[in-house]
Structure 1
Amino acid sequence: MDDNLLFEIMDLLDDGEIVYLHRQTKEILSYPDPQRWSESEFIDLIEEVKARAAAEPDQFVVLDPPDPRDSYHIMEDFVFTVEDEQLRNRLLEALDSKKPFRYFRSTVEDSPLKEAWYDFHDARMKEWVLEMLARVWD
């Protein structure tokens, strides 16, 4: 699969979108996951995407965004790659907070780990997307 296409899918999934990928043309359709966003806000888009996919039911594969637990585990795995004990402890505190995603992201953004985190995250998301595609692709 083309890396640009793969990264586009990764970005959409990471943003909480449900992705429909056309098997032949590689056309991507997506809409925000109603379990994470208000469905009423996106009802027209959701209906449009579902109608388009229903017109060619054998041609589209559907990819759901990662479960928040999977995303949490990616952050957790990253923490244990951090050699700086002080930074590692700050990240662990962020993960133990009431809003772990927000505080983890904030801690990473304000540290020298920003680039390492995004590289790690992208590599793990790429593995995850390829695994999901392998499950649904004939």
Structure 2
Amino acid sequence: MSYIALCLAKLTNMTLNEEQIKEIAELLDSGMICFYHLPTGTIDSHPDPNDPYFDAEQWEDIIDRIENDWDNYERFEKMESYEGYKVIENFAYSLSDEYFRDKIFNAISRRKPFQNFKNLIDSSHYRQNWFDFKNKAYINFVKRQIQMKEK
């Protein structure tokens, strides 16, 4: 089988349901790297090996399983920093409370924008709104990755 035919056959087998998409989104949001196993439809994940606190021994079985069957896995990436920053901006724009929106933009315009935003949102009554917004953004992010893989 040619490489192109193999890739096309591989992609036609990737049908994730909404629960799987949600699970991948939540794992990515928590900093994990996710892999979808095409033959079984299962999801495997592990922390980023480049993370300074990564303990390879704890994740050795999962990493070996993925590496030994690499051609049958699709990898899902977490958001880059600029993408996460854009989600925060979009959240701010979605708010009708102009005062709090301005506080967000002020917080993220300074040094350590993510930490500033977290400190601000955690002590606000918009905290749950933020979690809901970010969850939807991550689900859409995963769906875009699926669409890109299908092309």
Q: Which TM-score band applies after superposition, normalised by the shorter structure?
A: 0.7 to 0.9
In structure 1, the partner of 2:33 is 18
TM-score by length of 2: 0.78
| Unpaired segments ≥5 residues, structure 2 | 1-15
Q: Retained in 1: the 8 A contact 2:49–2:56?
A: no
Pick from 9, 34, 37 the counterpart of residue 24 of structure 2: 9
Q: Retained in 2: the 8 A contact 1:31–1:42?
A: no
In structure 2, the partner of 1:62 is 75
- d(CA) in 2 for partners of 1:48 and 1:96? 42
| Unpaired segments ≥5 residues, structure 1 | none
The yes-or-no answer on 1:44 pairing with 2:57 is yes
Give the greater-gyration-radius structure (CA): 2
Change (3 A) 1:132 1:63: same
Pick from 18, 29, 50 the counterpart of residue 44 of structure 2: 29
Q: Retained in 1: the 8 A contact 2:28–2:77?
A: yes
| CA shift for structure 1 position 45 | 4.4
State the number of aligned residues. Answer: 136
Q: Bigger CA drift: 67-76 or 94-103?
A: 94-103
Other structure's SS at 1:58 match: helix
Encode CA deviations 1:92-134: one digit per residue, 9 max, x unaligned: 1211122211221221222222222222211111111011122
| CA shift for structure 1 position 86 | 1.4
RMSD: 2.0
Matched residues, percent identical?
A: 24
TM-score by length of 1: 0.85
